[in-house]
Amino acid sequence: MGRLFGTDGVRGVANADLTAEMALALSVAAAHVLAEAGTFEGHKPTAVVGRDPRASGEFLEAAVVAGLASAGVDVLRVGVLPTPAVAHLTGALGADLGVMLSASHNAMPDNGIKFFARGGHKLADELEDRIESIYESHRHGEPWQRPTGAGVGRVRSDDEGSEQYIAHLLSVLPNRLDGLKIVLDEAHGAASGVSPEAFARAGAEVVTLGAEPDGLNINDGCGSTHLDPLKAAVVAHGADLGIAHDGDADRCLAVDHTGAEVDGDQILAVLALAMQERSALRADTVVATVMSNLGFKLAMERAGIRLVQTAVGDRYVLEELKEHGYALGGEQSGHVIILDHATTGDGTLTGLLLAARVAETGRTLRELASVMERLPQVLINVPDVDRSRVGTSADLAAAVAEAERELGETGRVLLRPSGTEPLVRVMVEAADIDQARAVAGRLADAVKSALG
């Protein structure tokens, strides 16, 4: 069997790959593993459980709550809230465990389970592995040790979670948003209630899209994966900017007043300069992945900001931030982590801070985002090749070196073996799109020839 936990928890088609039985058993396993690790020592453990609005989240939440309570864990059900809100509440309420039910930007039939450790941080890999091991043992007949009587967990609902989260968001804003008109696309997702409320309380005039979740319409033609409705609405309403979240609101993309997209790299650049100005960018360093546009790196160099790059995935960005105490990191996809105020990507917080910079400077988002020029980027997937030999083929290394010589300082080459399929991704950036396409085409041929 493959590893259950991916880079973002356990995910699959609800009621097919991810069943109620699995959700219940994984929750029991998580309780046992954290008890073994000493997390619960000396007190009755508590878990915060939240979800996005997917229909399947209703029965999966019931299964998770049942599993945790049957293992002796008291459960606080906070209902439909963004992933970063559940992480925040896990820390703020002193809970021993947080559980979020969401498949983020995936289509409605999918769902997922993500566990947070005390403090609202992602569970360590070794704990996830142990949970999976105990879950597998139970599936093959090993009985659970179960508390009885007063030892079972108690379950209660908490309606104050959204208010606590909104208060937290507003408390970290450097200035108000008065005078700004902002369109918010909530993807019919987990932030549909809290995000418009937070922006309105911060002083913005708010127009909402995709803020009427019915359990079936999450991410459906809206949100950060479908920006066209937001672009049209920003222009139609004469808004200053637009903000788009995904289903669990851990990411944020933006649109300027002309309807042009502002991606995660540009958002990161704007926030990095704002934080540098306030002496909040520790070590004058920002963390991003190897997929960040070369234009971002060049913009940071011009500003005297050091760029540390990681493997692709917000978990690697977070690890780098925590290990070295940096304050800001993110991905092109809009996962932005502001470590002083969040333990995970937080799309609402990111959007608020971006809008706050517009309000503070009196400059348009278009002008602020122009601090970096997005260089043309061409990506080609080369299938049916031996991805394991990317780093050992002399012929391929020679082809890459030749491409890098041709591109010089204004271009970049990246070859990435897929983590799940027999293919290699060829990414080329250049100042000119035709040159990027030509170089990428030649490198794709070289990959086929060397690894086919």
Give the residue from 16, 29, 6, 223 showing the smallest Cα distance to 136: 29
In 31-143, DSSP assigns E strands to 46-51, 74-80, 97-101, 110-117
Q: Mention every residue, 6+ apart, whose C-beta is less than 8 A from residue 67.
A: 23, 24, 25, 26, 27, 28, 31
Residue 192 DSSP label: T
104 labeled part of a ligand binding site: yes
Residue 104 known to be catalytic: yes
248 labeled part of a ligand binding site: yes
Rounded CA-CA distance 60/102 in Å is: 10
Rounded CA-CA distance 284/95 in Å is: 33
- Cα dihedral 430, 432, 437, 443, rounded to 10, equals -30
Look-up: residue for tokens 């009885």? 148
Rounded CA-CA distance 253/46 in Å is: 34
Give the residue from 422, 435, 437, 420 showing the smallest Cα distance to 390: 422
Question: Quick one: how many helices (H) and strands (E) in the chain?
Answer: 14, 18
Rounded CA-CA distance 379/429 in Å is: 9
Rounded CA-CA distance 176/94 in Å is: 30
Give the length of the chain: 452
Q: Between β-strands 74-80 and 46-51, what pairing exists: parallel, antiparallel or unpaired?
A: parallel
Rounded CA-CA distance 214/55 in Å is: 8
Q: Which of 27, 56, 102, 104 is catalytic?
A: 104
- Residue positions annotated with a catalytic role: 104
Binding residues for Mg(2+): 104, 246, 248, 250
Binding residues: 104, 246, 248, 250
